[in-house]
Structure 1
Amino acid sequence: MTEYKLAVDSSKKATELPLLRVCGTVQQNPHMRAFWASTISFFLAFLGWFALAPLGLEVATSMGTCENQIYPPTEFPTRPAYLKFKNLKSGLSYCQYGVLKEDGQMIDCKDVPADAATAEQKEKYRPQVLTKCVCTPGTECKSVIANAGVASVASTIFVRIALGTLLERFGPVNVQCGLMSFGAFWVAMAAAISAPWNYTLIRFFIGCAGATFVTNQFWCSLMFAPNVVGTANATAAGWGNLGGGVTQIFMMSVLFNPMVASGMEPNVAWRVSMVVPAIMFVLCAICMKLMCWDMPTARKYDPTVTGKTQKPSMWDYVEVLRDVRVVVMIFQYSACFGTELAMNNQLATHFRTYFQMDAGDASALAGAFGLMNLFAISSDICYKYFGFRGRIWAQFLALFFEAIFLFSFGNVDNSQPWYVALAVLVCFSLFVQMAEGTSYGIVPFMNRKQLAVVSALVGAGGNLGAVIAGFCFYKPIQDALLPFQVHAGYVMFWALLSPCYYWSETGGMFCGPAQSFEKGKTHSSESESYTESEATSENCM
């Protein structure tokens, strides 16, 4: 009999999560190896996935898509992006004497007054106040960056859905190594970006690495028992998502800025920076393949451990999607993880263009959003004190306050100090990460036999949310703040559908379980087991 380094139940799933207990061979400690492998691989995938986001203006400059590159101000002085431009550092506007409007549309700058005396006073247009790369809403530059951002999250939808079958056929280790190797190639290829079409294409393929999240959650669900699986899933996903915040700082402050400071041209520096995460991808894949198992008791995954006897098929997806509770969870996850993906794509550019911050400061503020993943919590505490009902309430409250703070962030304009935006952003981020954790505190209990498919569909829902946000909120609305406010309404709508969650054995938001259960009889899909006693109903709240 193998002596495990962690306490385990009858099916050899760990009943504890000692984060630093990593000693022992793979036979003795497959649980924590899987936990850290899934966390680190997802962290690196996130880092590479959004590595181009904080470098967006540098990439745009290299491609020649900045508004002032396509339309030089001396030749096209009345471009709307110029007419409404105000330099926040100097306080000077492009139009020295204000903007001339016709039917509510900006058409030109107002003429110079007759009493203007000096050469400076006689300037109708002031192109010198424009930033190096004008990339504000409504410009081609902003559209290119937005399209690439949507492409980077859209590709992951299809890969995540496919993983519902691939994980059952090939197991978590092989799937994760394959995704990291594929991602490494395309992250390295980012150094060759030269035009909008290949910028969008490369971001599309890099996005496939984002599917590592599904493996992350499925792998932890195989290794940890029900009493701790919510914490394991939330911690592995939350600390993996941390890569989305770290990359904002890492790519700019650790790689790009020091390279430029050492004398390297910016156009070269951002390209060299992209090679670093690619190398990290490859090293991670090699380590996982050599050091990890799929299951606590075997190197290769066996679908029968979840109680599934038939072979994986496309019909599994149809069966799962017939459950309205799964559909609600898919869209609730689109409202939290999808929001995080959208913010990872939007925030650095938002701070650099709307608040006109320099690259390092903008990346630090954008990184603060992702770094809150460090404090992501699960619903296991609520489950301990309030039963399964606590998990559902935790999910609702996390989404509810996420919507409140996202709407608040959308009301912070650039006339206010940057720390106001940061304070709201931190509160908003905490609830986003909390909602992600509470989502996957519920997922393992929704359809235990179809755990891989449910995990895949819900994970894909997160990317679907980012695509919806990109195409419906951030790209078409030519306003710096309104998209955040509309996005908050989307989150609130799905939060209010939490009462749809109800299972006879666990209960719902307002009702307890229809039947009481006590430990005894082992279910094939659960490591913690129950036997049904007399059918007694609990009253609804």
Structure 2
Amino acid sequence: MADFKLAVDENNKATELPLLRICGTVQQNPHMRAFWGATFSFFLAFLGWFALAPLGLEVATSMGRCENQLYPVDTNPKRVAYLKYKNISTTDTYCQYGTVKDSEGTLTDCAEVPSDIANNATASAEEKLKYRPQVLAKCVCTTGTQCNGIIANAGVAAVASTIFVRIALGTLLERFGPVNVQSGLLTFGAIWVALAATIQVPWQYTIIRFFIGCAGATFVTNQFWCSLMFAPNVVGTANATAAGWGNLGGGVTQIFMISVLFNPMVSSGMEADTAWRVSMIIPAILFLICAAAMKLLCWDTPTAKRFDVAVTGKTKKPSMWDYVEVLKDVRVVVMIFQYSACFGTELAMNNQLATHFRTYFQLPAADASALAGAFGLMNLFARSLGGISSDLLFKYVGFRGRIWAQFLALFFEAIFLFCFGLVDNSQPWYVALAVLVCFSLFVQMAEGTSYGIVPFMNKQQLAVVSALVGAGGNLGAVIAGFCFYRPINDPLIPFQVHAGYVMFWALLTPLYYWREHGGMFHGPAVTEEKVEKSQAEEPAGPAADVAV
């Protein structure tokens, strides 16, 4: 047995997760190199994946697609987006004396200035204004505008592309191994993140966000790689921590792109149109540095530089039929959609929150990005908490504990998402933040509890299961974008409807049942002795630990 820096089992998988034990050569410490390689690469992928989200209004301004750019207020004073506009901080409205509606309740114009004010010689010029264009934001991009639609469509494109790439990774990981796949994804992503600086028109914005989204598939490698390196007693914690700290990039980018890059550049005298473009170059450079570091410093498995399918006990070559075989299992299908209800929700929030706080709560860019970033920053501990709770309940209650951890996390996620959808802009922003933090806690715990179960579902098809479940997360974001946030012309109802989607899949948790593990309400159908006997008859290899 090799002289590893970590304690390992008979299959050379680490039975501990000492986060700071990073010393030693790659032969001595492949486990923690893989852990940090998986974590940092996914973190940077998230940073670049959503880098354009907090810059959405700046990009829209550069493309000339704000409502007040397309329809100048002096020649189009009756645009609905203007008629219903209200400055939250000053309470000033565009229509100084109210609005006029037609018989169907549609806004048609501002109410006329009352005659006693119009004829009052002492009334100020501002008091005699029917319209107050000075109240409008620099870029009006509220719900129902073309600007808002462009941003929403690009957000859906950014998560849609990852579905296909994540599914493909089930086979690609088996053929090329985690290091090659992860390095390739970051290199490809770097090209498109850099090209974002050239955006001029909406179709370019959508296409570039689509291709940047391919970097989001790094999550599948993240989970597969950690599952190859860590033993069953800590695999839930390792998977949850690596993915959680990787997802942290989604929160950091909300703050990093605005407060660290864009705002300082503008303050130094750079034009806003140039500043956001220069800002996009930084993540691209970080992508390339990380890809090179992984290629040079990491191994795929504890004892081999490159992965071989025999490690998972698989005797057949990878094929597309593997996906069909895996999808025959209803438990895998439920997990795919439950992951769409947690990770898909996080992706949807990464796309929505910065713009929601800027347009609905009318907060400055830095403040809005900070609040949106708070959602993602919960990944610092929340997803790990989900993995730890799954492992802990597994230790004391058995596999039933993992299932209950999954259900409770999804259930409370739905509750707090619905509550967030009830917070309107008549309430202070910190009310929305308080609910958002609770909501974020359970979203990311649910992601952690999901990957406390995934490694146990099908030991020989671990790569395919990881790929399909990971793709399910992006599928959830696409469903949310197309079915909830894009078509519903209201700033709050989409969050409430989305909560119903999460609750539906949470209530299907009782469908999880394994003869050897039991289910949510039932114990195992076979004794421990029979399970051990059946395992002894299975192909030998490190992957035998994945499903026990």
Aligned to 1:160: 166
Aligned to 1:465: 476
Cα contact 1:96–1:123 (8 A) shared by 2:
yes
Report the CA distance shift for 1:35/1:506 in structure 2 as closer, same or farther (over 3 A).
Answer: same
Cα contact 1:373–1:433 (8 A) shared by 2:
yes
**Paired amino acid for 2:418:** F
**Distance across 2 between alignment mates of 1:220 and 1:122:** 67
2:471 counterpart SS class: helix
- After the TM superposition, list the runs of 4 or more consecutive aligned residues in structure 1 that deviate by more than 4 angstroms: 518-523, 525-532
1:115 counterpart SS class: helix
**Which residue of the other structure, out of 394, 413, 417, is the alignment partner of 2:424?**
413
For residues 276-308 of structure 1, what are the alpha-carbon distances to aligned partners after superposition, in whole Å with 9 as ceiling and x for unaligned? 000000000000000000001100101011111
**1:528 deviation in Å?**
6.6
Q: How does 1:433-512 map to 2 (within 5 A)?
A: 433-512=444-523
**1:89 deviation in Å?**
1.7
**1:391 deviation in Å?**
0.4
**1:112 deviation in Å?**
1.3
**Paired amino acid for 1:478:** N
Report the CA distance shift for 1:205/1:268 in structure 2 as closer, same or farther (over 3 A).
Answer: same
Cα contact 1:368–1:426 (8 A) shared by 2:
yes
**Distance across 2 between alignment mates of 1:394 and 1:422:** 25
Aligned to 1:537: none
**1:215 deviation in Å?**
0.2
**Paired amino acid for 1:340:** E
Cα contact 1:506–1:512 (8 A) shared by 2:
yes
Q: How does 1:326-405 map to 2 (within 5 A)?
A: 326-375=332-381, 376=383, 377=385, 378=387, 379-405=390-416
**Distance across 1 between alignment mates of 2:518 and 2:297:** 40
**Which residue of the other structure, out of 204, 210, 213, is the alignment partner of 1:204?**
210
Cα contact 2:186–2:288 (8 A) shared by 1:
yes
2:403 counterpart SS class: helix
Alignment of 1:309 onto 2:311:
no
**1:232 deviation in Å?**
0.5
Alignment of 1:51 onto 2:54:
no
**Distance across 1 between alignment mates of 2:26 and 2:513:** 39
Aligned to 1:125: 131
**Distance across 1 between alignment mates of 2:545 and 2:232:** 10
1:397 counterpart SS class: helix
Aligned to 1:228: 234
For residues 108-139 of structure 1, what are the alpha-carbon distances to aligned partners after superposition, in whole Å with 9 as ceiling and x for unaligned? 11111111133222211111100000000000
**1:531 deviation in Å?**
13
Calculate the TM-score normalised by the size of structure 1: 0.97
Aligned to 2:113: 112
Alignment of 1:93 onto 2:124:
no
Aligned to 1:539: none
**Distance across 2 between alignment mates of 1:426 and 1:382:** 24
For residues 223-279 of structure 1, what are the alpha-carbon distances to aligned partners after superposition, in whole Å with 9 as ceiling and x for unaligned? 001111110000000000000000000001100011111111110000000000000
Report the CA distance shift for 1:372/1:531 in structure 2 as closer, same or farther (over 3 A).
Answer: closer
Cα contact 2:192–2:208 (8 A) shared by 1:
yes
After superposition, the CA RMSD in angstroms is 1.4
Report the CA distance shift for 1:361/1:29 in structure 2 as closer, same or farther (over 3 A).
Answer: same
**Paired amino acid for 1:468:** I
Unmatched segments (≥5 aa) in structure 2: none
**Which residue of the other structure, out of 432, 435, 457, is the alignment partner of 2:443?**
432
Alignment of 1:187 onto 2:198:
no
Alignment of 1:2 onto 2:2:
yes
1:107 counterpart SS class: strand
For residues 22-48 of structure 1, what are the alpha-carbon distances to aligned partners after superposition, in whole Å with 9 as ceiling and x for unaligned? 111101110000000000000000000
**Paired amino acid for 1:189:** L
Alignment of 1:218 onto 2:224:
yes
**Distance across 2 between alignment mates of 1:469 and 1:284:** 31
1:476 counterpart SS class: coil
For residues 403-435 of structure 1, what are the alpha-carbon distances to aligned partners after superposition, in whole Å with 9 as ceiling and x for unaligned? 000000000001111110010000000000000
Calculate the TM-score normalised by the size of structure 2: 0.96
Aligned to 1:291: 297
**Paired amino acid for 1:59:** V
**1:517 deviation in Å?**
1.6
Aligned to 1:538: none
Instruction: Report sequence identity in percent.
Output: 78
**1:384 deviation in Å?**
1.2
Aligned to 2:31: 31
2:116 counterpart SS class: coil
Aligned residue pairs, count: 532
**1:201 deviation in Å?**
0.4
Alignment of 1:240 onto 2:231:
no
